[in-house]
Structure 1
């Protein structure tokens, strides 16, 4: 996909003929996990993260979906996990599948968290069904939620597009994204994060009509405060 997550607020209308992120993922439900739940680069990113977190670390999973594999893997590693997603169906699935984590139906654009309130944040593909300006604002807010030394592990579909309509998993959606180079630059320069690692990979989802997608994964860290 060139894809994202209480229902989307009034005042954020979607383009005619397209569906919102909440509508899309309510309709997909568990089918999304079947298609994307075994993404090797995502599993590697979560394992990299858990190896660096102490037991009880506070982790936010933005666009938590069905809870699998990300929140489930984090909870099994002993993290205190909060997941947020715009889709009611996804939140209900996640609560059933990952009872050791806490899930809220909420858009990241509306979510409120204390500055430095999380030891890590995961954001795997939740910003694609926003405008570029909204995605940039969301990334900056996420960076502010990290404690000094906290980690941000994320992924997106790299593409130099803003407000483009595409067909994805049987629905018409409007998406925006950044090139891989621009995404990494924004994390460094706009969000003030130290990018520790980034890589491009290609994944072929399971299911009829699925096509391979290019992904960029980034591991980043909020610098420790000095002075």
Structure 2
């Protein structure tokens, strides 16, 4: 597997481009499948982050979940609260699992870097650990694109592993990966340069429940796009 279907245009505000190449991230997460969900199920910080967002969303909000994985916990939590969730993931295996596990949300297999999103088309965008296999220029460009997709006054949540590394070859849960990230200070600067206001942030250490996993720092940024009612 590891390759999403070809070009398609569906729904409102989203165009999926041509997926000619197999993504390294797709190969990794195709292989991990449900093991990824099990390994990260114990993340209290992720649950707290979702509660922060739920406490601010209006009923029936439209939310984009970037790197939606198995659909749990992000899409499942938001859909259960009555929000309209669109999950996007490059892994066909993850999209199949998510569609089965969270029927109340919509999932599409696509490389988020190739999506065309209408400005202001979502009330909130969530990006939980979805950037780490992209280059720094790709991460910067994507954050700017996703920030524009949030309506004025809407919300943007970003979680990442804040390490100052570029093109680092390592092993993640038994899978070979090449990781690029920013320091915590630079991640925060990145979202601010995209025009977002950082309302709160949380830094934690988390060890995934997997025999090959190592403790990792995690940074959760909770942001708003300036606009009407954007007072935090």
TM over 0.5: yes
Match of 1:219 among 218, 222, 225: 222
Q: Structure 2, unaligned stretches of length 5 or more? A: 6-17
Contact kept in structure 1, 2:172 and 2:212, CA below 8 Å: no
Q: Structure 1, unaligned stretches of length 5 or more? A: 1-5, 15-19
TM superposition shift of 1:37: 2.2
- 1:26 has 2:30 as partner: yes
- Between the aligned partners of 1:151 and 1:222, the Cα distance in structure 2 is 6
Aligned to 1:203: 206
TM superposition shift of 1:208: 1.1
Aligned to 1:17: none
Task: Provide closer, same or farther for how the CA distance between residues 207 and 11 of structure 1 changes in structure 2, counting only shifts above 3 A.
Answer: closer
TM superposition shift of 1:55: 1.2
TM-align CA RMSD? 1.6
Match of 1:99 among 86, 96, 103: 103
TM superposition shift of 1:9: 3.8
TM superposition shift of 1:157: 0.3
Alignment map for 1:27-176 (pairs within 5 Å): 27-176=31-180
Contact kept in structure 1, 2:165 and 2:182, CA below 8 Å: yes
TM-score (norm 1): 0.91
- Between the aligned partners of 1:160 and 1:54, the Cα distance in structure 2 is 36
Count of residues paired in the alignment: 214
Contact kept in structure 1, 2:68 and 2:87, CA below 8 Å: yes
